[in-house]
């Protein structure tokens, strides 16, 4: 196995409710993967576990070339290790400019002293401009993030993830609330990102998943129900019963 992230036998329960039940999942580097499943299937909890927000009751999470265990690491340490996360609601720092948002996300030392004495280097600023170009916000650099439209905020957040220079991106419903044109650009962004790092997309919209054109994992009641190409999945009777058919 040559996987970047390997989750095996993970379970977690909240007040007796098994949100994740013996889940196993693996992804290689530079792979694009979509996760679908009905509400309450454990998609967001899965992301919470990988990013360190929720501690699993049992199971192993092995990360990277060095096969480090992510269990017991803080959220900040996991993020520094190269896992970026995009929330379902666009969460950018609304009070600050697009530029400030991106500069904050740029890969750099994260300690308070490093931040206090940080100087914007020409290299960093070139990277910020480059990213702003990719996310269609090049001419909005000095606007406050709070003034952006919903779709632009989603892009800004994706831009912030890319600025972190991650090895794995966890993206929760990136296309929600976007216009068709915006969706198309988002698809292109994710497909482009997946050329250099692993990308996991949680999405409800089957049309969007089809356009991503990648392997699909179906979650149901906290464990993997099926995995394969979208055509393979849509032909699976079990998947139709619990998810697609409804």
- Interface residues toward other proteins, by CB under 8 A: 51, 53, 74-76, 79-80, 84-85, 87-96, 100, 103-105, 110-112, 115-116, 118-120, 144, 146-147, 150, 153, 160, 164, 176-177
Q: How far is the CB of 122 from other proteins (least distance, A)?
A: 9
Q: How far is the CB of 115 from other proteins (least distance, A)?
A: 4
Q: How far is the CB of 232 from other proteins (least distance, A)?
A: 29
Q: How far is the CB of 2 from other proteins (least distance, A)?
A: 26
Q: Which is nearer to other proteins, 104 or 224 (CB)?
A: 104
Contact 45, 88 (CB under 8 A): no
Cα separation, 221 vs 40, in Å, equals 7
Q: Which is nearer to other proteins, 75 or 130 (CB)?
A: 75
Neighbouring-strand partners of residue 69: 62
Q: How far is the CB of 121 from other proteins (least distance, A)?
A: 9
Contact 91, 41 (CB under 8 A): no
Q: How far is the CB of 171 from other proteins (least distance, A)?
A: 12
Q: Which is nearer to other proteins, 71 or 104 (CB)?
A: 104
Cα separation, 156 vs 102, in Å, equals 8
Q: Which is nearer to other proteins, 155 or 226 (CB)?
A: 155
Residue 90's alpha-carbon distances to 13, 17, 141, 152, 231, in angstroms, are 27, 28, 17, 9, 30
| H helix count then E strand count, the chain | 10, 10
Contact 34, 215 (CB under 8 A): yes
Q: Which is nearer to other proteins, 36 or 239 (CB)?
A: 36
Q: Which is nearer to other proteins, 56 or 90 (CB)?
A: 90
Kindly report the backbone phi and psi dihedral angles of residue 218, in degrees, each rounded to the nearest multiple of 5, phi listed first. Answer: -100, 125
Tokens of 173: 């419903």
């Amino acid at each position: 196995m040559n996987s970047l992230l390997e989750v095996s036998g993970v379970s977690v329960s909240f007040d007796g409710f098994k949100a994740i039940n013996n889940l196993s999942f693996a992804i290689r580097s530079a792979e694009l993967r979509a996760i679908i499943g009905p509400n309450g299937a454990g998609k967001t909890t899965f992301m919470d576990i990988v990013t360190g927000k929720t501690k699993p009751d049992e199971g192993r999470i092995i990360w990277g070339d060095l096969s480090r265990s992510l269990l017991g690491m803080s959220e900040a340490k996991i993020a520094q290790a190269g896992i970026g996360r995009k929330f379902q609601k666009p969460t950018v720092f609304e009070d600050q400019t697009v530029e400030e948002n991106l500069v904050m996300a740029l890969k750099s030392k994260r300690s308070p002293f490093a931040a206090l004495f940080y100087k914007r280097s020409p290299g960093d600023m070139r990277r910020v401009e480059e990213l702003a170009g990719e996310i269609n916000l090049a001419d909005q650099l000095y606007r406050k993030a709070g003034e952006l439209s919903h779709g632009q905020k989603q892009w800004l957040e994706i831009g912030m993830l890319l600025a972190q220079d991650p090895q794995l991106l966890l993206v929760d419903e990136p296309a929600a609330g976007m216009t068709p044109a915006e969706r198309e650009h988002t698809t292109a962004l994710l497909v482009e990102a997946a050329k250099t790092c692993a990308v996991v997309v949680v999405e409800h919209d089957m049309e969007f998943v089809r356009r991503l054109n990648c392997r699909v994992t179906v979650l149901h009641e906290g464990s993997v129900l099926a995995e394969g190409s979208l055509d393979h999945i849509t032909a699976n009777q079990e998947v139709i019963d619990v998810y697609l058919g409804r």
